[in-house]
Each structure stands twice: as C-alpha cells, then as structure tokens.
Chain A
Amino acid sequence: MLEIRDLHVKFHSRCKEAVAGVSLSIADGEILGLVGESGSGKSVTAMSVAGLLPRKQCSYSGDVLLDGQDLLHADRAALRKIQGRDIGVVFQEPQSSMDPLMKIGRQIEECLYLHTDMNPAERRARALSAMARVELPEPETLYDKYPHQLSGGMLQRAMIAAAAVIHPKLLLLDEPTTALDVTIQSQILELLKRLNREYGMSMLFISHNLNVVRRITSRVAVMQTGVIVEAGATEEVYSNPQHPYTKKLVAAIPSRNKPDFDSNM
C-alpha cells in the first residue's frame, strides 16, 4: 500500500543526507515500526510521506507511493487532497501540536470539514463517535473544551481521533507515546492496536523506544544515520539482532520491565 523506494533527502543547511536511500513498504492493515535514535532520519522519512518536508529548504529524490500515487513529487494542491484524507498524522507533543485556541471538537472534525461535504451536524456526530472510539470520556462535554483543559493523555487521544476520524488509509505516528507517562503510554498503544484491528488502518509507528515498538508492530525497520540497517519481523529482530547497532539497541532495553508491560494485554 505504501511503497518507499530509494528515498534521499538532504537539507541545504547540512552537509550529510538526512535520509540516504531508504526503501520500505507497508502492506494493507499492517503496522510497521521504524526505530532509531534522534537524528537517524526516521522522522524525516515520515515527513516525506506526510508531505511535510520543507521543500524549498532541501533536495530530495526517490519514490514515495501511496497506492501508486507519487507523494514526494506531487504538487501542493494534489498533496493537500491526500493529506488528512488518506494520511493522518499524530505527533509527539499533543500540547503543542493542537491549536490552543480551537475547541477540541472542531479540531477533530477539521479533516471532515476539509475533505468531505458533510454538514455541521453530521460532522459533529462523526466527531463525537470518533471521540467515543478513542475512549474519551463524556465526548459531549469535551467537544467544547480547549486543549489546555485536557491532560496530555487525553489530548493524545483527541489527536488520534482527529487523525482517524475520516478513516485514512495510513496513520503516521511520530513518537506518539514518548511525551506520555508509562501507564498512559500502554493505554494509547492498546487503543492504536484496536483501531488497526477494527478498521484495518495501516500504520507507520516511529519511536526511539524498541520496547514500545515491539508491543504494537509485527515488522520493524531499524534506522541509523539515514539508512535502514536492519529490517524484519519484530520478534525476529528483537530476539536475534544481526546488525551491531540493533544489538546495542536491544541490549539497552531494561528486560525486567517486560512482563509487567505485557501483562495487561
């Protein structure tokens, strides 16, 4: 469904390529994990998929195809039709990623406003059901709240609801749980899994935390300095890492925590 072939991205302000020949693909209904430390190029890869590369400030080549449609070289107008409708994005910091002066409900239905011809009542109903689906309590009340009135975990649920409200083919999750504390983190992961199961939404899950990625993905790619150094089934990579960098990442996981995390599945 998503196909990235030999993607290169180089920012004018840097001398090295941020992404140096990445190829990966995501099948329908699959969750792919993309792991690496900060600066490894995983976020830039995601940004090129989401059409958020600052095009004037970098040079890029390769193919990013969503169901055969080129995203990397599409013009702005064509891209805007895909953004939000076919690709939803959830960012790391829900507090700063939501418009502080727009009501939660209106932010959740913004994709519907932009990409469908629903009337306000339909949009509202749809937003409310999306809020219920991400297990936000009392959707009717929360609909009229502002972001500063919600906790981080609730905001991230709202962000997910906003990205998923229109059922995009692909959900890009850029470190969606990093800013949250551990219990909230696993709730969000469970939520994402359910969305994936129930709606068959494909996801690209980006994290520096191998442990988090292991809990939600079936396949994982490990990135370092702009290239994918290892890829495969998550359990395989996890239990039998081949590349020295992956070995280091796996070794760095505090293994004692695992059973506790997994127990609430």
Chain B
Amino acid sequence: MKYAAKKLAALLATMLAVSFLAFAAFQVVAGDPATDRLGTEATPQRVAELRHEMGLDRPFLVQYGSWLGGFVTGDPGQSYSGGPVADLLSARLPVTLTLSLMAFALTLALALPLGLRSVRRGGRLEGAVNTVANQFLMALPPFFTGILLTWLFSILLHWFRHGAFPGFGADVGGSLWYLLFPAVALAIPRVAQTVRMLRSTVLAEMDKDYVRTAIARGNDRSGVLYRHVLKNSLVPVVTFLAQTMAEIVAGSIVVEQVFNLPGLGRLLLTSISGRDYPTVQAIVVILALWVVLANTAADLINRFIDPRLGGART
C-alpha cells in the first residue's frame, strides 16, 4: 500500500513536470495568439484587449496554474479554432483509446501463446524460420500494413468500407469492427517483438540453477516451464509490455491517418498544422499520462509478481 502511494506520488510528479514542459514549450513557440487571431492589421489596443480577455497578460506561472487547474477539472482551455478543447477531445479520445486497447489485447492474445510455442519447439530449422519471420514482421510499419489491409479487406473483399467509420455514438458494433483492421496493423510488429522478447527471456531463465532443481524433483518440460520458469520470466516481459502499450499509442497516431479515423492522432496533426497550441498541449499531456500510467501499472503488477521488488514483507 505504501509502495502504491509512493508510485502514485512519482506519477503525479512526472505528470507535473511533463505538463509544465509542454505548457512552457508551447508558450514559447506559440508567439502571441492574440496577434495570430486578429491578424497583423489589428490595432494595438484591440490586441491588448484580447490578450486580457484570453488571460495572456498574467504572469507565466499563474497562467500555468490556471491551465493546470482547468485541465484537472476537465476544462483544458479554449481551442484557437473556436470552441473548448474539451469538446474536441471528448469526441476523439474514445476512438484512440479503443483502438490502442484493441491492438494491445491482440498483441497479448497472439504473442503469449506464440512465444511459449517457440520456446517449447526448439528445432534448428524452426528456429531459423522463426528468426527470419520475426525480423520480417518487425519490419512492417503499421501504416504500410494498414494500406495493404485496406486493399485486401475493403477494396477486394468489402468486409468494411474504408473511410466510413460509423462512430461510437451511431453504431458501437460497427465501430469496433472497423477498428479491428487498424488494430491488426498496429499489432503485427508488436506481436513479433513480444514473441522474440518472451523467447529470449524464457531461454535465459532456463539456464538458472533452480531449473536444475526442478528437473531433479521430477518435473517434465512443461512442469518446469509453467510451474517455475514462466513466473520468473514475467517481470521483464511486463515492463516490456508497458513500453509496447506506449508504442501502440504512438503508432495509432499514424494509423488513424491511414484509416481516416477521427481519433486523437488526427486531431493532433490538424492542430499542429493549424498552430492550435492549446489543443496540441492538451493532447500531449493526455498521451503522456497514458504512457506514465502504463508504466506505473507495470511496476505495480511486477511488485505483485515478485516479492523481492520493493523490499521484503516480513
């Protein structure tokens, strides 16, 4: 419990630092949004009025404080494109969230059995085929696979209509079905990576002394693997999976573009090119929160698995 509290404090500290950096960085590059909005021909008086209206004449830390306060209470400010950022986010967050979770679930569901299978079957030829297939699958960028999947399943087989994402408000089942294809594109290289990681971790674990003890007690290969080695291999794998979650989120930004999905990634892109910094800032903080949450969760799970982490409970 104490450990969880400490982790939570670290999480908050990290998020505070990230949000401050994001805020400061965009404050610097944004220039003067009031001038931006009014154009260069506006009178200085009008600009000053708008600056006051937007709260830009306050000290930097006060601006940060009020922005952070707003963010925490669900109001991360006004978009330069008009309308509150919160409205933009609330429409798009579920899409990206669902897509990432689907891709992650797919990765888990495929990588764990495949990884264990590759450990149990250790033939020479199969090993070589595994390695090459692994490297090849890892080389498939999700945006390229996405295009190929679109061609196969949308243009050729008509399993889904590219560009016609129904939206969760209209059709939940249809939306999930549509998201399955980008999720597959995202998952393919991750599955290959995870299989490889799992395999090398388990094989390294197999060389440990306690494995010899387990064999000496009369365990068969699967007894050794499932009763002993697997649990011992889990800690690095869980850490790796948190990293994978983060990579999936990053990849989904690109894949959303391929599949014409109204998610955070596309919002981020339009905001970047439209110089809509309040929106960019909010998205950056949300994505960061996601990454930090995944890592914190991994730490907590690992502590649950391995009592040696974080000291003995005697």
Chain A residues with a Cβ under 8 A of chain B: 50-52, 76-77, 80-85, 87-89, 91, 93, 96-102, 110-111, 114-115, 145-146, 148-149, 159, 162
Minimal Cβ-Cβ distance residue in A for B307: A146
Report how far A105 CA is from B258 CA in the complex, Å: 55
- Other-chain contact of B307, A76, A81, A87, A148 (Cβ < 8 Å): A148
Let me know if B210 and A114 touch, CB within 8 A. Answer: no
Known: A85-B218, A111-B218, A115-B218. A97 touches B308 (CB 8 A): no
Report how far A97 CA is from B312 CA in the complex, Å: 20
Let me know if A114 and B217 touch, CB within 8 A. Answer: yes
- Other-chain contact of B232, A81, A97, A100, A110 (Cβ < 8 Å): A100
Chain B residues with a Cβ under 8 A of chain A: 208-210, 212-220, 223, 227-228, 231-232, 305-308, 312, 314
Let me know if A114 and B223 touch, CB within 8 A. Answer: yes
Let me know if B213 and A80 touch, CB within 8 A. Answer: no
Report how far A80 CA is from B218 CA in the complex, Å: 4
Instruction: Please give, as numbers and ranges, the residues of chain B lying within 8 Å of A51 by CB-CB distance.
Output: 215-216
Quote the shortest CB–CB distance from B302 to chain A (angstroms).
11
Let me know if B208 and A96 touch, CB within 8 A. Answer: yes
Quote the shortest CB–CB distance from B86 to chain A (angstroms).
45
Let me know if B220 and A80 touch, CB within 8 A. Answer: yes
Quote the shortest CB–CB distance from B311 to chain A (angstroms).
10
Let me know if B219 and A98 touch, CB within 8 A. Answer: no
Known: A146-B308, A148-B312. A97 touches B213 (CB 8 A): yes
Instruction: Please give, as numbers and ranges, the residues of chain A lying within 8 Å of B227 by CB-CB distance.
Output: 102, 110
Report how far A84 CA is from B215 CA in the complex, Å: 8
**Top 5 nearest A-B pairs by Cβ distance?**
A84-B218, A84-B217, A96-B209, A83-B218, A89-B216
Let me know if A111 and B308 touch, CB within 8 A. Answer: no
Report how far A102 CA is from B219 CA in the complex, Å: 15
Instruction: Please give, as numbers and ranges, the residues of chain A lying within 8 Å of B228 by CB-CB distance.
Output: 99, 102
Known pairs A93-B209, A149-B312. 7 more at Cβ < 8 A?
A52-B215, A80-B220, A91-B213, A98-B210, A99-B210, A114-B218, A115-B218
Known: A102-B228, A148-B308, A149-B314. A97 touches B212 (CB 8 A): yes
Quote the shortest CB–CB distance from B215 to chain A (angstroms).
6
Instruction: Please give, as numbers and ranges, the residues of chain B lying within 8 Å of A91 by CB-CB distance.
Output: 209, 212-213
Instruction: Please give, as numbers and ranges, the residues of chain A lying within 8 Å of B209 by CB-CB distance.
Output: 91, 93, 96-97
Quote the shortest CB–CB distance from A130 to chain B (angstroms).
14
Quote the shortest CB–CB distance from A116 to chain B (angstroms).
11
Report how far A76 CA is from B221 CA in the complex, Å: 10
Minimal Cβ-Cβ distance residue in A for B228: A99
Instruction: Please give, as numbers and ranges, the residues of chain B lying within 8 Å of A82 by CB-CB distance.
Output: 218
Report how far A84 CA is from B219 CA in the complex, Å: 9
Chosen A-B contacts, 8 in total, with CB atoms closer than 8 Å, are A52-B216, A81-B218, A84-B218, A89-B216, A100-B232, A100-B308, A101-B305, A111-B218
Query: Which residue among B216, B220, B227 has the maximum number of chain A CB atoms within 10 Å of its CB?
Result: B216
Known: A114-B218, A149-B312. A98 touches B213 (CB 8 A): yes
Quote the shortest CB–CB distance from B173 to chain A (angstroms).
42
Instruction: Please give, as numbers and ranges, the residues of chain A lying within 8 Å of B212 by CB-CB distance.
Output: 52, 91, 97
Instruction: Please give, as numbers and ranges, the residues of chain A lying within 8 Å of B312 by CB-CB distance.
Output: 146, 148-149
Quote the shortest CB–CB distance from B157 to chain A (angstroms).
47
Let me know if A99 and B213 touch, CB within 8 A. Answer: yes
Quote the shortest CB–CB distance from B210 to chain A (angstroms).
5
Quote the shortest CB–CB distance from B223 to chain A (angstroms).
7
Report how far A208 CA is from B26 CA in the complex, Å: 70
Let me know if B232 and A99 touch, CB within 8 A. Answer: yes
Instruction: Please give, as numbers and ranges, the residues of chain A lying within 8 Å of B306 by CB-CB distance.
Output: 100-101
Let me know if A83 and B231 touch, CB within 8 A. Answer: no
Report how far A146 CA is from B310 CA in the complex, Å: 14
Report how far A51 CA is from B210 CA in the complex, Å: 15
Quote the shortest CB–CB distance from A112 to chain B (angstroms).
10
Instruction: Please give, as numbers and ranges, the residues of chain B lying within 8 Å of A159 by CB-CB distance.
Output: 213
Let me know if A80 and B219 touch, CB within 8 A. Answer: yes
Instruction: Please give, as numbers and ranges, the residues of chain A lying within 8 Å of B210 by CB-CB distance.
Output: 96-100
Instruction: Please give, as numbers and ranges, the residues of chain B lying within 8 Å of A110 by CB-CB distance.
Output: 214, 217, 219, 227
Report how far A96 CA is from B227 CA in the complex, Å: 17
Report how far A51 CA is from B212 CA in the complex, Å: 10
Let me know if B308 and A89 touch, CB within 8 A. Answer: no
Report how far A91 CA is from B208 CA in the complex, Å: 13
Report how far A154 CA is from B305 CA in the complex, Å: 23
Minimal Cβ-Cβ distance residue in B for A114: B218
Let me know if A101 and B231 touch, CB within 8 A. Answer: yes
Minimal Cβ-Cβ distance residue in B for A77: B220
Minimal Cβ-Cβ distance residue in A for B231: A101
Quote the shortest CB–CB distance from A58 to chain B (angstroms).
15
Report how far A148 CA is from B215 CA in the complex, Å: 21
